[in-house]
Structure 1
Amino acid sequence: MYSVLIFLTFCFHFINGQTVNIKIGAICTDAADPQVLQLALYDILQNNFIIPQIAFGFEFRNGCKDGTGLDYVSELHYSHNVSALIGPNCSEDIDCVSKLVTIWNLPVITYAASVKSEKRASPVSRIAPTTANTLCDSIITIMKELNLDKLVLFYNTGDSNVVSQALYLIKVLNGENIQSRNFELQSTNVTWFEFNGMVNIEEVQKFTRVIILLMGDSLDENLIVLQHLRRAGITASDYVIFLPWINEDPEKSYPWLENTISPINRSATVTVNDNTKKDFIGTYVIDSDNNGTTTTIQFSNLLLNKSQEFTRQNRNKLSRAFVLYDSLKLLILAVNQSYTQMGHLGAFNSSLMLQQISGITFEGASGVVEMDYNNERIPFYSLYEIRDDSDFNIYQIAKISPIKYITESNQTTYYLKMSGLDQSTKDKLKSKTAEPACGFQGYKCDYSKWYVISGTITVIVIAIGIGYYLKKRGPNGFRRIFTSNKTVAQLSWHIPIEKVEMIKDESPRALSQKSESELSAASGLIRHVGITNETAIVYNNIVKIRRFKQLKNINFDQTEAQFLLSLKQLVHDNINPIIGLCYNNPTNELLVLSKFCSRGTLSEYLHNPEMRMDGKFKTAFLRDIINGLDYLHNAPIGYHGNLTTSNCVIDANFIVKLVSVGMEDLLEDWKDNNLIEDIEDTTTSKMDIRPINEHPDEELLFRAPELLRKAPPIRPKLIRMSKNEQIRIKLMCRMADIYSMGILFFEVLFRQHPYADVQTPVEVIVNKIRTPTRQLLRPTLPKVIEKEHHPAMIQLMQACWSEDPISRPPIKRVKKLFSTVYKVRGGLVDSIIQMMDQHANSLEKQVRERTRLLEEAQLRADRLLAQMIPKDVARDLKLGRPVIPRGFDCTSVLFTDIVSFTTICSKSSPMEIVNFLNDLFTGYDAIISQTDAYKVETIGDAYLVVSGVPNENGTENVKVIATIALQMRQYLSQYKLPHIPDFKMEARWGLHSGPVAAGVVGLIAPRYCLFGDT
């Protein structure tokens, strides 16, 4: 980005002793634009179009699209205080700029050719010779002049500007009662296979002989579609093909022209590529009327002499320079008139300048410029024919000019009228487009009688042939004839049952043995995602299996086969593919096989508190979702239809993939036709390891309000509808996907369920979304939003929640804004490695924390076991060694119980007894813990202690036991019952010495017991 400020001052007389300096902000999209504007200012000055008291200067900014144009406009207004703007030219920014400059009351001259949504005056003046609105109006004029009432429209859905233009044209056609058949093509580089799947050639041939291609802003973007049409038998010799040409790009010219650089003097020579031109021969181009003026000749000579950027052969670049010249001249003339009326103040009066622009007429470089009272340039179009010759140019055959008139409200306006079309050309066009009495393909006439006769003859001939064949082949003839039905089993989505190798052991170890590279995630995480569903190996891929009970044989008609093929062809990094179907098996089961993703659903991952996610993780997940949805919106399938966090899965490389695309609709259709039914008590989840939702209505929280009010038809029914109806429903569902994506954004960014703060049942929330009031119900943003959440993304998310589907941003705009806000450094592999490093660090922290908890639990278990069983015996049990009973020759045993325990029990509740015994025996335990003795057990009020077991201590055990008895007596003499404090506690003690046997008895709750006469 660079800034150049140039002021041209010259001799003048002073007003109040000051020069009026007008600073113009210019947002350029081509490297030559600054030089063009400087030369234009020089030429306008030389021709005395500038009042001597005024000096003009520029503040240049280079760049447009991706939101940069909007940033530059704000900078030029606030930081540089420009008086007017030229640009931006990019259609993505001009709508937003229009709203801002309306508030600022700042004049803007733009040459953008996008559709203008408002038919009223605004600070934005459009001076482009061709605009999307007026180009569509010129098409209507041509149709009326030739009395045509039907056309076929092909347009590119991959270009948002083209989509806007196509929708505007369809709206105008409907208003003029002109029928149209509209076909969406996902890009200008559509393949023949894709073209053949999206376009019903037979319908085109039956409907009309008039075709319009809206594939982009320049002619070369129509080339591939023209080639496909020619391959399908639709050529310019039989059809009238119109190519509207907006042409915003100065680098694009006629597609059949090639620049050849001489190796000797490096001079450029323009030649005609006949192979390319043959596809355009006979078509008709609708473009601006290129009648130049003296200004055109003068300024073009100046450009050719002063700049090496321009040549006479590069028509497009010269045309763009002419429009820049006219933009500057329009602005200068408006300033001149404002200054003449109000002097120094008038030159800075934006409202007055805008008034001067309305209705102004002047000679420009791009022709005569006439502005209407909505600050739009009045168009002058021509119809051109591309002929079979070696000339570089195209031939003008008619003009489409404005005819002015005054309305009842005394305002001057215009309509377009076609003129100059000679009678022979008109007759040629009408002969191509005239529909025969029986229709273009004879479908209006009844040929049934001849069909019956020919059909009868054909059946007889075939029957004779079959009889002869069977006679020669013998009894197995029929079997050989109908073996072709087995080709159904060879369809790309069909998986033979013998190819499905079930994984019996569903542990992580078993899966890793099958494909270690696929399941490199930690076993704990795999255990977390719940590999409880059936898994299998199919063609060396681990797949998830969803089972259904098959009630009847499944046979595919052509429509279903095409639909399944389109599902199978969904190949993208962010789409989890359907591997195939296994049906018509001896087990009477339908198996739906999809690729296994080891890290579970996005919903599970988001709401697992052990999984740490920073901003990079979240943006990577969102980028994957946007890319996947963008691919679907441009694929023949058209939309997702049920986008939720449960319908997104994460593979081993932390790539998010969209699931449940289209297959659910087909399964629902088969259920309605009683072909399949769900298997009860199955552990198989819905699709692609999606968990069984305890509240199935929660998925409705992601659904757009318009779909809650009226659900679209399932895809098997949709693909049987008319093309126009399919286009309408697909557009509606794409906008609904944007709403669902906005709700999904909320859950990813803030890691909380949508509407989690609303304390009402899900059904009530869904009903409020379905029937909105003045206060719309949407997820509530947290009071404190972290810095990692860019404000632009929050605004984008809220824009996706709009109640009006048209107000929601298309996926292309979402993708551009997201890429602008979150610029990714490095490639995809770098991002994945960084994400996996972060995840590995998170897992290491989890392992350390869980190891610490395990060690603490182990210590508690060891202490508890040591209190129940001697340490040596416990160690043998932990190590799995058998505990062999032992005999001890010299031991001493102590027995003690409480006197009058029955009386105490009669005066106490059970809980009081338990508490009192626990308190008393805890004191006894403290005494024993300080001696070389072992507490064997307690039974009721009896307490048993031994010394010399398991640690032999000779005759010392007698002294130890006697000491314990005395200490117990001393402790008891001071003990008082908590609930009967006046009761005097008494006990009996018995001591004996001799041999005993000791060992562990039992496996459940094992005890260390003593046996013997002692």
Structure 2
Amino acid sequence: MNQPTLGAFIVSNYYNRPIISWGLVNAAQLDDEDRFPNAGIMSAGQRSLGVAIRAILAEFGWNQFVYAYFTEEDAEKCVTMRNDLQQVVSYFGDIVLAYSIQVTDISNDGMISALKKIQSRGRIIVTCMKDGIGLRRKWVLAAEEAGMIGDDYVYIFSDIKSKGYYVPLLGGGERPAWIPSSGSDENDTRALKAFKKSIFVCDMMGQGSIAANYTVFGEEVIARMKEAPYFCTEDCEGKNYTVAATYSGQLHDAVYAYGTSLDRMFKAGQMANYRNASAFMRYFPQSFVGMSGNVNINDKGTRNPTLFLLSLDESGNNTLRATIYVENMSATYSPLYTDEGVMWSSRKGNVRPNDVPLCGFTGTGCPKSFVEEYLVWVIVAVVVLSLAIIAAGLGIYFSIKARREEINRQNQLWQIPFIHLHQINSKQKSKEHSVRSLQSGTSTMSSRTTVSFKTETRNFLFFSLQREADYEPVVAKKHAYRPRLDDERCAFMRTLRTLDHDNLNRFIGLCLDGPQMLSVWRFCSRGSMADVILKATIQMDNFFIYSLIKDIVQGLVFLHGSIVGCHGMLTSKCCLIDDRWQVKISNYGLKDIRSPEMYEKKDLLWSAPELLRAEDIKGTKEGDVYSLGIICAELITRKSVFNMEDRKEDPEEIIYLLKKGGMKSPRPDLDYDHTIEINPALLHLIRDCFTERPSERPSIDTVRSQLRGMNSSRNDNLMDHVFNMLESYASSLEEEVSERTKELVEEKKKSDVLLYRMLPKTVADKLKLGQTVEPETFEQVTIFFSDVVQFTTLASKCTPLQVVNLLNDLYTIFDGIIEKHDVYKVETIGDGYLCVSGLPHRNGNEHVRQIALMSLAFLSSLEFFRIPHLPSERINLRIGMNCGSVVAGVVGLTMPRFCLFGDAVNTASRMESNGKPGKIHLSAEANRLLTETVGGFATESRGEVIIKGKGVMETFWLLGPNHAIRPMSSRKPVVKPKKIEELHRQETLKSDELLSD
């Protein structure tokens, strides 16, 4: 039912239509909220069954178990359960699925054979099978015959569609599972005794704990089938139509939930959206009592099922022992017994079995007592040489103790505590820059990569390993399984850690106490050979390629002659390159903890065809030679494995063709760049390496000897060769760097010209150096404000472009006047003009003189200014001046401005706004400094004026220098500037000249 339901879910999700599943639908795929966000599920899934089983194992303190499943009649169910069960135990990580076996031979001998395999791997056996053909009875009888129905064995039967130890019969009624469908026989008593050694997890076929109500409901279903609208009378007679369908209660609850949602939508006025799944699910009921028990719906729209734990009591009755309420990946185990001993009443002492026997699965794990081991010698020692034997005994004791301490010490070397693996922050600290800095810098990237730049991948993590006071960069490979580390495996790990060769990446150890088991290896800064090939960061010639191949071969020669035997999964990703361009083979020696699920299809493109057919991930020496040929092809062609970027086939298709074999079995093309001189003998050797038959491939020693013959005249070191290449490359770059540096200097000059026009030079220089420009207080400055009189009226007679040209012409004249005075132009806002003197360079009291002279020059320049498109119009200014204290600083990050703050600025603005056309309005402070402190200027009191925000103030008019004062009717400009056209032309030429410099 899973595949049809999955198809229906896909269609309903595509069209956004409501869908509610019920019955024997249990695939975990249907519970994928991201894939099916608007679906309702009324049945318990296999994952829920897996979560319940895990809760039972945790409740009884069982840390490992075996899963045995049958695919007879219903292959999909048990395979799905296996995957879901593996996912659940991997999610929690506290319980290990030690062994999984598919029982394909359902004969008595076949089952006994499967049980014998289980015997050496576990005592808690979870089973999945369809009982329509009496498999459970055959299974327990086979276990009894195999001697595996003892007090230390527990069989956990699991099934969604089941009522425990009683099998429903067609037409109603039930029969015990220990009685075959053909009738009682002589083995019924044996089967019942064996079943008492088991427990059962099921959903009671959706009937839960309301069996009485369900019976009445079933009778009503049968009765109503004969009424409208079905009128099933004659066709619904007979044995098959006396009992309602198994999951009719769930169908009732699904229809009830659908009707409840519609009712809620109707009351909410949302019936127009009743076919909209997203709107529909917002009104989906969360809980109610249905015909299949208490219905609790989670926020995914999936029912949180309640599963039941059953066992047989001493009389063989189906007894409910506990309920397990499952919600997502958590389960609540609720026992219905007060004494756990009733669960194990068929066992000696009513004691719960252990998941691992005291003496191990084979019975050989119990240590011998000292008396048993040394009884004869003790007797002889007492009689003959008591003192000598005591001395020998002490010697043996200390020798064993020292050996054990040494073993423990060596074990600690390869067992890496997780707290010693430090995560590295990939965000590198850059040089500190001011947020206002306009300075730019350059950076370079090396072909080497530090571990801090590496990020977590699907199979690898990157750490810094703490070794006393030092830290070593390492790479950690993830592993899905956590095997038990017995003495043999620990001894192998100790040996593996001691393997040392120039072309092997050093194995550091295993991390066993982290969230996931990790194998830790030394980090190589230049990455894998696959990275070097794809990035093409360095040009490879024939000697470069030969050296890399030679390193791989040398590493394989050592590996094949060591305790490891072979690599098994050799790829260009496993061939790492250190900072000396030396190849080091990694990820070797851990064949028994490899997980097929951790490898993508693309990772298998290096595997030999015979290994792909056998699904062998442990590998052979011949398989390593085949993988070597594939890697050599990558090096020569400078392309990825099988040149996947340019092929039409995907990795699965290529693997299929490799498994199929034959004349058309694919192999990498050796189409290399002919500018590189490749020895033809090397091409022949590569083709020999990936031949179809393993027996026809050369051994790794043969490959090494043939490689030596191809390059007998050269013994250069690859690092020296790389240095020579880099030296040649560096010399060619030197001239280019010099040219670029000149261009950079020229561009910098241009940018400085523009910058000095935007900000004071001292301020701009600080920002360029990355220094923070702190706000500064200036005790005495003079602020200037001007405004074009009736500018709004004038602008209404112009187009926007004419207004821009008008202001540009006018301000060009003003900018030229400013350059002749010690004045800094702060900003222009429309027709407003703001200047200041006395900052950022302090000039004593000279600031008031400079502003006064500049103001007079501004008014004088207007005599010669004409508007080209309005020749009859004249420009007039209203000017205000004030002296006082201000605070100046850089404001903003984008387009930073040098701004002024203080009451003196506001007063200057009020002087301008309360002034008169063609006159310079002074505050009392500005008049005092100008006439009493500086002198040389004539002013005239305007009298007391009401100033907004200031009250009544006495203000003054600036008349001009003392020597230039004439009657107002005959007054001439003090400064007569050049004609406007000439001044504008000079300013333009000056700006262009600065930019060109």
Q: Same fold (TM over 0.5)?
A: no
TM-score, with structure 2 as normaliser: 0.39
User: For the pair shown, which has the larger CA radius of gyration, 1 or 2?
Assistant: 2
